[in-house]
Structure 1
Amino acid sequence: MNAKVIHFPTRPTRLSLRLDWFATDRSVLLGIWALYFALRAAVLLIDVVPSSDAEWYYLRAASLAAGHGYLDNAGQPTAFWPAGWPIALSLVFSRFGTSLVALGLFNLAGSMLIGLATLVLGRRLFGSEGAARAGLLLLAVYPNAIGYVPLALTEVFYTALLMAGCWVVVTRTNRYQLVSAGLLFGLATLVKAQTLVVVPLLFAIDWLRMGDRWRRLPGLLAEGLIVVALAALTVLPWTIRNHTQLGHWVPVSTNGGYTLLTGNHDDATGDYTPDTPVVKELMARPGLDEVERDAEARRLGLAWMTAHPDRFLELVPRKLMRLWLPDGEAEWAYQAGAPGYERFALVYRAVRVVNQGFYVLLMLAFAAAFFVMIARRRRDGQKWMGWWLLPYGIALYPTLVCVVFSGQSRFHYPVMPWICMTAGWLAMTVLGRMSERRIPRRALH
């Protein structure tokens, strides 16, 4: 006698229901956004006077807003440091007045755009609303990202431009959209001259992720060249201005050679070290104008690298460690420019310690996600290459730059939203796997 067995559906686990709620409920997304905004608005209540690099950018923006032009501290035309951020900030100052309040609100708007880009790119790259929300949540509570909002540094504005440019390329449906990508990458190049390194990385991933690679290659090369050409056209007016006012062709700025030398000389440690004898001697050398000094710094740096290849290679691991191991450098700006720092020094330091621990967890998740994604895609019969590789391409960009120049933890700031979205995907994947534990099903014989 045969008995027919009827299986009833498995009851969802509590964790599975919570993950579904997290990924689908509108109130969850609104709550994440509220937290994201509130933390960044709250940090604007801290009074931070611009110092070091931030002071230079702030004063240049004030000069431009007042109609005096892009001048150095002596009142002479300059191209020292890329001018994109001061130019953008000067437009805000000319409309709302030169103040730290205007600066903070502009950065707050930029940070909201970064959050939006993190969410929409997380959806696109990983195909998961839950992963995108988790990435946004991780970025929302990331202390170092919050700490930059009141500062007159390039990081927030630059990251927004970089992510927007990547979004246009990733989601494009026709070549006309590449005009927007070229403009965005051009503006980003005016903020950080090495930005165009990202464009070939971006199109290389696009090339690898689909079939018919050799048939698609000419078209992708053409699209990449369109973006680079339009970016160059965006930068061109500034280049012409430099030639007109300085008498030399300076594509973006006159600090490239100086930055190269600070990372490559006898006393170099792998970190950005501008106060060494070779650098001080060059800066004090008479008879050189700004452009000539930068060219001489470049010559000295390249000559040292050629003469000391073993020492240069020895510095590479140190540069990478300076770039990727520490985090929380926003605290330095508060230490230098916040009047109440000494009174709350223990609080600042505690936040720095918590931030470092949080950062380590993010980086471990970022590394683990690479292998988990490959295993998952192979298990599902998918090609292992896809847009999910873009965060790793973005991480490769400052890595390549620091190998040649120097390592600073500040340089990895634009990568952190990408790391957060990848860590968010891993967290949801692991939790989703845990939620699949099966409860014994009831059976009726």
Structure 2
Amino acid sequence: MDVMALKYLKNNKTIIAILLAAVALRILWMVFIPTVPVSDFLLYHKGALSILSGKGYRIYGYLSAYEPIGYSAFLVTIYFLFGSSIIAAKIANIVLSVVNILLIMAIMKQTGFNKKVILLAAALFSVMPIQIMYTSVVSTEVLFTTSLLLITYVLFSNLKYKDILLGAIIGIAALIKPYMMIFQFLIFVYYIFTEFNLKLALKSLMLITVMMAIVIAPWTIRNYTIFHKFIPISTNGGYNLYVNNNPYATGAWQDPFKIPNSPLKIYKHKNDEFWNEVKVDEEGKKLAYNWILHNPVDFVKVGFKKLANVFVVPDNAFWATGYLKDQKHLPQSVYSVINIITLIIHMVFSIAVLIYLLDRISTLFREHKLGKIHIFIILLMAFYAAISFIFEGQPRYLFPLWSYYIMAALAVAESVIKKYRGGKASYERS
């Protein structure tokens, strides 16, 4: 953030109070709800420990490219500096949460929201249960949210070489979530809608893509050296495609090796929990593409189930409450209260975001113009919907969008207030 923004922060006691409240709530949750990593989250942790031990990035003892390296690499940095403790990873999440609040405020300041709305957004993010709960989970969610917000901040900045910087950040984000390898096309469309300049959009696309490729190149070279195959980031693409695009697909995760008559079963190791990741990646893609080609109607039906799992089903932060230290479990009464709270919050924000999208899209068609932040948010949500439609639907996949949900909901609220008071909302005047 610029010098003015830092000065603004230093002189604003409300912001400091919001940040302190955010930290305090997250520390309390971390202390009283001692979440332990399981599933993919445990693999990220063990992968980081494997690197620190000098054995390279291994999963179940095998040199691997199944789990993207980005989050494990982040953990390596944290563990190297502060010790190989899950507590260190959780504290890092708390720090990142503070950074995320500052980035949300900076983005909203860039795009013309007034001070009161910005402070309200920061306050909402700081006390939102889902944001608090996930700080105790050793997972990609908080870090990836930081990268996405940083991309947004740079996009709306006036930096001279911002496309190169965007390419670097998107490259890092892709090492966390491989689908970000195509995010530059969202930015390309964004420039088309906002600048009406094809040359500028193509130049941006080229610079971002080249820089992103440079960032991920060392990992790609490592994968080629080990597997003798071009694997830009991860081998889990075919795995995930097949899990969610097969005759028994439900729109949610299922064990691909236990799907009836699964052709991938032959690649599962008999003596441990792993599999031939390269063959599963190759065959999974072939099987999924073939099923989609021959079952387009079923593909669409399952696709909408995936969307429902992401955008309709509330995330009760099961990963932050279901697996606790010493094999303890959260009391059912507490878990029920959490479910009710997350359900209400999810419903309120979902309705607000739906109103926001209908209003902004209709405005775009009616007036052929729209504020840049709104174009970006619409494209971002469309991007996530497309990814979810093709791959998998889990409630936690909505997590990176909550920052934008807050912005959208407050934009709706401010528009309604301004409409009844007369005049336009602050960001509409900019």
CA distance in 2, matches of 1:262, 1:329: 23
Query: Is the 8 Å Cα contact of residues 197 and 397 (structure 1) preserved in structure 2?
Result: no
* CA distance in structure 2 between the aligned counterparts of 1:305 and 1:425, rounded to whole angstroms: 38
Q: Which has the larger radius of gyration?
A: 1
**What is the match of residue 207 of structure 1?**
192
State the partner residue of 1:311: 298
TM-score, normalization by structure 2: 0.87
Name the CA distance, whole Å, in 2 between partners of 1:314 and 1:377: 29
How far residue 157 of structure 1 moved from its aligned partner, in angstroms, is 0.7
Instruction: Report whether the alignment pairs 1:234 with 2:219.
Output: no
Partner of 1:441: none
Matching of residue 252 in structure 1 with residue 239 in structure 2 = no
Change (3 A) 1:340 1:153: same
Whether the 8 Å CA contact 2:236–2:277 is kept in 1: the answer is no
Comparing 273-282 with 418-427, greater Cα deviation is found at 273-282
Report what 2:249 is aligned to.
Answer: 268
Matching residue of 2:15: 29
Alpha carbons of structure 1 residues 125 and 202: separation in structure 2 relative to 1, 3 Å: farther
Counterpart residue number, 1:336: 323
Rounded Cα–Cα distance in structure 2 between residues aligned with 1:226 and 1:39? 41
Are the aligned partners of 1:51 and 1:333 in contact in 2 as well (CA < 8 Å)?
no
Supply the distance in 1 between the matched residues of 2:365 and 2:189 (Cα, whole angstroms): 21
Matching of residue 103 in structure 1 with residue 89 in structure 2: yes
CA distance in 2, matches of 1:193, 1:277: 25
* Residues 278 and 83 (structure 1), Cα distance of their counterparts in 2 relative to 1, 3 Å cut: farther
State how far apart, in whole Å, the 1-side matches of 2:135 and 2:324 are: 14
- One-letter amino acid of the counterpart of residue 107, structure 2: L
Q: Distance in 1 between matches of 2:174 and 2:404?
A: 19
Query: CA, structure 1 residues 143+79, in 2 after alignment: closer, same or farther (shift >3 Å)?
Result: same
2: CA distance between counterparts of 1:373 and 1:277?
42
Alignment CA distance shift 1:64-1:168 (3 Å): same
Counterpart position of 1:160: 146
Distance 2:206 2:336 in 1: 46
For residues 355 and 260 of structure 2, the distance between their equivalents in structure 1, rounded to whole angstroms, comes to 42
Deviation track 1:114-139 (CA, whole Å, cap 9, x = no partner) reads 11111111222343222222222222
Q: Aligned to 1:86, which of 63, 69, 72?
A: 72
In 2, Cα distance between equivalents of 1:433 and 1:130: 17
Three-state SS of the structure 2 residue aligned to 1:277 is: coil
* Distance in 2 between residues matched to 1:427 and 1:137, nearest whole Å: 15
Deviation of 1:322 after TM superposition, in Å, equals 1.0
Gapped regions of structure 1 (runs ≥ 5): 1-24, 438-445
User: One-letter code of the match for 2:165?
Assistant: S
Q: 1:47 to 1:343 in 2, by over 3 A?
A: closer
Map 1:370-381 onto structure 2 (within 5 A).
370-372=357-359
- 1:407 matches 2:393: yes
Cα offset, 1:300, TM superposition: 0.9
Write the deviation string for residues 52-87 of structure 1: whole angstroms up to 9, x where unpaired: 1111111111111222210121x2211012111001
SS at match of 1:107: helix
Structure 2, unmatched stretches of 5+, are 1-10, 270-274, 424-430
**What is the aligned partner in structure 1 of residue 276 from structure 2?**
289
The residue that corresponds to 1:21 in the other structure is none
Question: Please, which of 225, 229, 245 is the counterpart of residue 206 of structure 2?
Answer: 225
Counterpart Cα distance in 2 of 1:42 and 1:301:
44
Aligned residue in 2 for 1:184: 169
For residues 297-338 of structure 1, what are the alpha-carbon distances to aligned partners after superposition, in whole Å with 9 as ceiling and x for unaligned?
111111111121121122122111111111224223421234
- In structure 2, what is the equivalent of residue 421 of structure 1? 407
Alpha-carbon distance in structure 2 between the residues aligned to 1:413 and 1:131 = 21
Amino acid at match of 1:184: I
Which runs of structure 2 are paired with 1:24-173 in the superposition (5 Å)? 26-45=12-31, 46-73=33-60, 75-173=61-159
Q: What's the CA shift for 1:374? A: 6.7
Structure 1 counterpart SS, 2:156: helix
State the AA in 1 paired with 2:194: R
Counterpart of 2:331 in 1: which secondary structure?
helix
Describe how 1:383-398 pairs up with structure 2 within 5 A: 383-398=369-384
Q: One-letter code of the match for 1:196?
A: M
Q: CA separation in 1, counterparts of 2:83 and 2:26?
A: 22
The number of equivalent residue pairs is 406
